[in-house]
Amino acid sequence: MKQVIISVLGCFSFLFISCNAGPEPLQIGKDNCYTCKMTIMDPKFGAELITDKGKVYKFDDVICLQHFIKSGEVKQENIRQQLVINFEKENDFLAISQAGFLVSPGIKSPMGSQAAAFSTREAAEKYNSTLQGELLSWKELSGKLQ
Amino acid sequence: MKHIPTILALLLFLQTGATTIIAGPGRPVSTLRKAIELARDNDSIRLQAGIYKEGSLTISRSITLIGDNNPVLDGESKYEILLVSGKNIRIIGITFRNSGYSAMNDFASIKLVDCSNIILERNTVWHAYFAIHVSNSIQVTIRGNKITGIPASEQLTGNGIHLWKSSGALIEQNRVEGHRDGIYFEFVTGSVIRGNHSEKNIRYGLHFMFSNDDKYTNNTFRNNGAGVAVMYSKKVWMEQNHFEENWGASAYGILLKDITDSHILKNSFYKNTVGIHMEGSSRIEIDQNQFRNNGWAIKVQASCDDNIFHHNNFTSNSFDVGTNGTMVLNQFENNYWDKYEGYDMNKDGIGDIPYHPVSMYSVIIEQNPTTLMLFRSFMVSLLDKAEKAIPSLTPENLIDNKPMMKKHNL
């Protein structure tokens, strides 16, 4: 009897997993940026916004995320998560509030934000030795992006 | 008068001053690197046939480099082959292959930085990350080059012809295939793209961003991942181009995003999922184009205004016009629609009742894409007929008041 219950529970367990909405990996060359409609091609850049209902919006550059938030299409209170792609690792999502951004004209992001995201400030500093850019938090950066 | 001999002597000196260096295996100057070192302003280098593996080379003097019998510069998949930075430089008839890849820098087979008055002609670029990369330059002519990327390396491919912050460029008669974007413009003004052939690129055949006052004519863009994108630009003139076979969930003949004051005329759109997709665009005149066998000939998002579509031919498209709103701020006039079922009593060649290019079904699909399953079913055609008689869902102002009875001769 116990085994039956376990196996029945096992059968339904996928339901619980599928409810757990998280970031969806960006499919390079297939997914489009929601704001600028461009096909996402550069695995070093990108962002995602997830609503409280689990809908995922994908972006090729943080500036497109910023435009989307400003447009008010999704209300501030309905945003569950905002994520950004780690510059150093493909499809590694970082919480946008915790990421460190390096902004420099030497960074050729798809839509011209010139911003790359790193997991820590130190990682960003390592790249900055050649680029001579600015290290910013998302709060500081989003204020600058128009 | 007494100056004449001096001037003549000077001219003679200038004449002989420009020398031609012949470089190649078995010659006194056996490497291109040596030849570039020896060359002074106005000299020419004739590079003989052979394979040259010389790493990265830089040209900064005003010289002409000509390949005799197709010499090959091989980057051994490590190096950026040729960096050009100067003025009055010409590079003709050379094959570049296997240039390197770098995650941080845009490695290119030929890179032009801070240049003016450069001609790149009849070169072949094979298997490059970026093929030709131009930045901060004026008066660059790129003519008759053949550029082939190897798409097996998918996302690690750069653009074929890439221009950034330049002006007065002429891109002519090139063939580009297998790159990310065939031709890419960012912050490029006053330039012309003419008679090129861009095919099988992974993303766009042509990609325009923040580039004003440019013109592209007589190009063919075929079978690219997502067609052609013209974005965030003003005063773009697009004439007599062919947009063909761009199929896919998000493929367009042209994607127009935030484009203003532009003119699209005499182009042909054939077999695209969407011929023209417009978003946030205004004051565009679209006339004398042919839309044949497309899924949607035109999709106009509600964010567009003041655009005028006139004297176009719409034939054999699944849907003529799609839109996502009810507000209509665009004008349709004197187009030929093969789905028009009206009559012409006064025989002036113009249909007496207006044509509604947006079918009810296309409105439904816009809101609920999965209903595409019912396409060409009996119910759908019934609904479409009913809607035509008594419009309720379709935007009632989106009409062509003067639909043509006969096809325009384009």
For residue A41, the distance in angstroms to the closest alpha carbon of chain B comes to 6
pLDDT (mean) for B381-397 = 81
Indicate the domain borders of chain A: 23-144
In this prediction, residue B10 carries a pLDDT of 47
Q: CB distance A36–B257 less than 8 Å?
A: yes
- When pLDDT is cut at 50, 70 and 90, the band that residue B191 belongs to is very high
Q: CB distance B203–A44 less than 8 Å?
A: no
In this prediction, residue B12 carries a pLDDT of 46
The residue among A128 and B223 whose pLDDT is bigger is B223
The residue among B13 and B167 whose pLDDT is bigger is B167
What is the chain B residue with the closest CA to A131?
Answer: B104
In this prediction, residue A28 carries a pLDDT of 86
What is the chain B residue with the closest CA to A89?
Answer: B103
Residue of A39, A128, A129 to mutate, interface with B, max B Cβ within 10 Å: A39
B339 pLDDT more than 50: yes
- Name chain A contacts of B210, Cβ cutoff 8 Å: 112
For residue B259, the distance in angstroms to the closest alpha carbon of chain A comes to 13
Q: Going by DSSP bridges, is the β-strand pair A47-51/A56-59 parallel, antiparallel, or unpaired?
A: antiparallel
Predicted confidence (pLDDT) per residue in B17-71, tens digit: 689 999 999 999 999 999 999 999 999 999 999 999 999 999 999 999 999 999 9
Check: complex ipTM more than 0.95: no
The structural architecture, per CATH, of the domain B18-344 is 3 Solenoid (2.160)
- Name chain A contacts of B279, Cβ cutoff 8 Å: 37
Judge whether A24 and A56 are in contact, CB under 8 Å: yes
pLDDT (mean) for B85-102 = 94
Helix (H) or strand (E) holding B354: none
In this prediction, residue B9 carries a pLDDT of 47
What is the chain B residue with the closest CA to A39?
Answer: B203
Predicted confidence (pLDDT) per residue in B288-315, tens digit: 999 999 999 999 998 999 999 999 999 9
- Pull the structure tokens for residue B88: 């009055």
Predicted confidence (pLDDT) per residue in A42-83, tens digit: 889 999 999 998 899 999 999 999 999 998 889 999 999 999
In this prediction, residue B17 carries a pLDDT of 67
Cα angle: B353, vertex B350, B329; to 5 degrees? 65
- When pLDDT is cut at 50, 70 and 90, the band that residue A90 belongs to is confident
pLDDT (mean) for B392-408 = 89
In this prediction, residue A145 carries a pLDDT of 83
Distance (Å, whole) CA B55 – CA B53: 6
Q: CB distance B210–A37 less than 8 Å?
A: no
For residue B203, the distance in angstroms to the closest alpha carbon of chain A comes to 7
In this prediction, residue B360 carries a pLDDT of 84
Q: CB distance B255–A36 less than 8 Å?
A: no
B96 pLDDT more than 80: yes
Q: CB distance A42–B155 less than 8 Å?
A: yes
Predicted confidence (pLDDT) per residue in B216-226, tens digit: 999 999 999 88
- Pull the structure tokens for residue A127: 């790249």
Task: Tell me the CA distances in angstroms from A48 to A40, A45, A97, B137, B404, one per residue in order.
Answer: 12, 11, 13, 36, 47
B11 pLDDT more than 50: no
Predicted confidence (pLDDT) per residue in A17-32, tens digit: 555 568 899 998 888 9
The three state secondary structure string of chain A is CHHHHHHHHHHHHHHHHHHCCCCCCCCCCCCECCCCCCECCCCCCCEEEEECCCCEEEECCHHHHHHHHHHCCCCHHHEEEEEEECCCCCCCEEECCCCEEEECCCCCCCCCCCEEEECCHHHHHHHHHHHCCEEECHHHHHHHCC
For residue A6, the distance in angstroms to the closest alpha carbon of chain B comes to 37
In this prediction, residue B368 carries a pLDDT of 83
B104 pLDDT more than 70: yes
Distance (Å, whole) CA B62 – CA B58: 12
B404 pLDDT more than 90: yes
Q: Flag whether residue B121 sits within 8 Å of chain A, measured between CB atoms.
A: no
Residue of A33, A35, A41, A118 to mutate, interface with B, max B Cβ within 10 Å: A41
- Name chain B contacts of A41, Cβ cutoff 8 Å: 155, 180, 202-203
Judge whether B81 and B75 are in contact, CB under 8 Å: yes
Q: CB distance B279–A37 less than 8 Å?
A: yes
Q: Going by DSSP bridges, is the β-strand pair B214-217/B242-244 parallel, antiparallel, or unpaired?
A: unpaired
Q: Flag whether residue B210 sits within 8 Å of chain A, measured between CB atoms.
A: yes
In this prediction, residue B3 carries a pLDDT of 63
In this prediction, residue B390 carries a pLDDT of 79
Q: Going by DSSP bridges, is the β-strand pair A79-85/A93-95 parallel, antiparallel, or unpaired?
A: antiparallel
In this prediction, residue A122 carries a pLDDT of 84
- When pLDDT is cut at 50, 70 and 90, the band that residue A9 belongs to is low
Which region, left, alpha or beta, applies to residue B8 given φ > 0 means left and ψ of -120 to 50 means alpha?
Answer: alpha
Judge whether B257 and A37 are in contact, CB under 8 Å: yes
Judge whether B42 and B67 are in contact, CB under 8 Å: no
Residue of B101, B102, B105, B155 to mutate, interface with A, max A Cβ within 10 Å: B155
Orientation of helix B378-389 relative to helix B360-367, angle to 10°? 110
Residue (of A128, A132, A61) closest to A96 by Cα position: A61
What is the chain A residue with the closest CA to B103?
Answer: A44
Distance (Å, whole) CA A101 – CA A135: 6
Residue of B102, B250, B299 to mutate, interface with A, max A Cβ within 10 Å: B250
Q: Flag whether residue B258 sits within 8 Å of chain A, measured between CB atoms.
A: no
